[in-house]
């Protein structure tokens, strides 16, 4: 059986679902009619550094966070604002084995950000790694799932072992800003330096403060990567 027809068979067994409500949808739709209008895209007005959505009347180039913090990556972008149906969508994608949403997320990334430099002429896609124990419990790393789907669409190789997790860190969500930064020190290690990547796209599911992206970009920069772009499927709205 040809690869393409295997995909078709899989598609009929695992039909496309709306990430917003998990209902089965037909054809090439991304979201169902009901959820469609509730999905908030990052749109045109965003921070040129981290990609967070900014208010229409904010004419600054960078958001407050990026003016204050060190950012070791060149540019980051997000597709959706982490709000409304996208909250449950990300939850199911992460914890309820809804890996099938990755096809919609990757397709929408290309549709919304196709002209962005971070998707062009990159040498490799790097998913934010997960701890081995966590991976065992959950069975998959959601960042890897997006990376694989996007890599296939862009025909760019995905390097799951380029960066690995170092020492175990406490869950980020229980910590304040300073604690988060401290917690992440030495959290990532470059493992596969031999591939000599020059331009990379790092992928994660949600961008919050950006401390994870900062730490992982910092080690990549140190290892000699010259251009670093970050993509998160969901990002925040400037507060």
Nearer to Zn ion, 79 or 197 (CB): 79
* Contact pattern from residue 56 through residue 95 relative to Zn ion, giving x for each residue in contact according to CB under 5 A and a dash for the rest: -------x--x-----------------------------
* Residue from 39, 42, 50, 187 binding Zn ion (CB under 5 A): 50
Instruction: Establish if 228 lies at the interface with Zn ion (CB under 5 A).
Output: no
Q: How far is the CB of 1 from Zn ion (least distance, A)?
A: 32
Applying CB under 5 A, among 17, 35, 109, 119 the residue interacting with Zn ion is 35
- Which candidate, 54, 49, 42, places its Cα nearest to that of 68? 49
Cβ distance to Zn ion smaller for residue 32 or 233? 32
129 lies in the binding site for Zn ion (CB under 5 A): no
Largest CA distance in the chain: 55
Q: How far is the CB of 217 from Zn ion (least distance, A)?
A: 14
CB of 106 to Zn ion, least distance (A): 18
* 30, 42, 46, 47: which one binds Zn ion (CB under 5 A): 47
Stretch that binds Zn ion, among 47-55, 101-109, 126-134, 178-186 (CB under 5 A): 47-55
Q: Does 42 bind Zn ion (CB under 5 A)?
A: no
Q: Tokens 């934010």: give the residue.
A: 128
Question: Per rule CB under 5 A, is residue 21 in the interface with Zn ion?
Answer: yes
User: In terms of CB distance, is 63 or 220 closer to Zn ion?
Assistant: 63
Count Cβ neighbours within 10 Å for each residue of 8-18 and write b for 16 or more, e otherwise. eeeeeeeebbb
Pairing of strands 188-190, 163-165: antiparallel
150 binds Zn ion (CB under 5 A): no
- Would you tell me which residues interact with Zn ion (CB under 5 A)? 18, 20-21, 32, 35, 47, 49-50, 52, 63, 66
């Amino acid at each position: 059986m040809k690869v393409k027809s295997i995909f078709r068979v899989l598609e009929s067994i695992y039909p496309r679902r709306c990430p917003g409500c998990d209902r089965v949808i037909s054809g090439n739709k991304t979201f169902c009619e009901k959820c469609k209008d509730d999905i908030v895209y990052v749109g045109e007005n965003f921070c040129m550094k981290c990609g967070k959505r900014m208010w229409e009347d904010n004419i600054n180039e960078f958001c407050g966070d990026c003016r204050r913090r060190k950012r070791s990556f060149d540019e980051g972008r997000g597709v959706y604002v982490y709000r409304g149906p996208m909250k449950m969508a990300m939850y199911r994608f992460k914890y309820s084995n809804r890996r099938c949403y990755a096809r919609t997320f990757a397709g929408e990334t290309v549709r919304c950000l196709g002209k962005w430099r971070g998707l062009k002429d990159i040498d490799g896609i790097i998913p934010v790694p997960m701890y081995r124990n966590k991976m065992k419990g959950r069975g998959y790393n959601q960042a890897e799932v997006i990376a694989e789907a996007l890599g296939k669409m862009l025909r760019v190789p995905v390097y799951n072992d380029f960066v690995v997790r170092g020492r175990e860190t406490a869950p980020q969500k229980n910590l304040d800003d300073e604690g988060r930064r401290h917690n992440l020190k030495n959290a990532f290690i470059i493992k596969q330096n031999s591939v000599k990547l020059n331009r990379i796209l790092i992928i994660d599911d949600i961008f919050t403060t950006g401390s994870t992206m900062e730490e992982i970009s910092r080690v990549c920069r140190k290892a000699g990567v010259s251009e670093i772009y970050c993509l998160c499927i969901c990002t925040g709205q400037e507060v």
